[in-house]
Amino acid sequence: MPELPEVETVVRGLRRPLVGQQIIAVEYEKSSVIRRPSPDEFMARVTGQRVLSINRRAKYILCQLEDGILAVHLKMTGRLYVADQPATEESGVDRWVRILFRLANGQTLYFSDARRFGGVFYIHDIAEIAPNLGPEPLEDNFTPAVLTERLNGRNRQIKALLLEQSFIAGVGNIYADESLFAAKIHPLRRADTLTKAEIKRLHGTIRDALNSGIQHEGASINWYRKPDGTTGESQDHFAVYDREGEPCLRCGAPIVKIRVAQRGTHFCPHCQPERA
């Protein structure tokens, strides 16, 4: 599933072609990805509105309209892009377009989703669909003190906790693994056993991993593509994620893969020793 860097890259890629454009029509298939409100009401609310800005909250893309917000969650296989028309037979048909928004300038905003796990919403506040989101890890108000406070009294495994969107917004499997490796913290460590120095280090590595992901425009290891259809490059810079059996870039020991919170988890057992 796209994480904060991938979603942020999509947001940045959509601003130039989409901001200022008016939505003049909406078309969708029967098995719609419209999650809220009903399809008829959704069309009535969105049609005719102009896109004022595009931002991100957690893993949601938020298109601010003149009245309300067009929110999109990509989930596992979602793609959002602006084009003159869908791909052709020659270039590869995008047969997974589930909903499209005709724009006044003749272009179209497409939402493609092979597995239909993603969704679009018409809302006025993100709390309507995601009421318990945690802090944004790249904002100035996310400090080591805030992370310390949120960890206080938590006895869950640190990797599992990092995946909770109510704990920190936007961090997922990839960047949790990368952050823990850089901080030299075993993914099975109980959160309440982390020292003050480890928490401070983890705070920095979370931000570093996410900023690196944004700099390299996301990780194209499965379905994720940038709005222009090209791939991101974050996967070329992973230290541990998806590198099972390969030598650790720091010590040379083989990278190990286990499961934490039902997610494949990569770490170096030498650099990230498990402690009592």
| Per annotation, catalytic residue among 15, 36, 184, 263 | 263
- Active-site hit among 2, 5, 137, 227: 2
Residue 154 bears catalytic tag:
no
Q: What angle do CA 11, 140, 224 make, to 5 degrees?
A: 25
Catalytic site includes residue 59: yes
Buried b (16+ CB within 10 A) or exposed e, 157-193: bbbbbbbeeebbbbbbbbbbbbbbbbbbbbbbbebee
Is residue 75 annotated as a catalytic residue, yes or no? no
Those residues with Cβ within 8 angstroms of residue 37's Cβ, 6 or more apart along the chain or in another chain: 45, 122
Q: Residue 200 and residue 176: Cα distance in Å, rounded?
A: 15
Residue 41, CB-side half-sphere exposure with 13 Å CA sphere: 8
Of the residues 56, 59, 98, 159, which is catalytic? 59
Alpha-carbon distance 18 to 75, whole Å? 21
Q: Around Cβ 72, how many Cβ atoms within 10 Å?
A: 28
Catalytic-residue membership of 144: no
Which residues have a catalytic role annotated?
A: 2-3, 59, 263
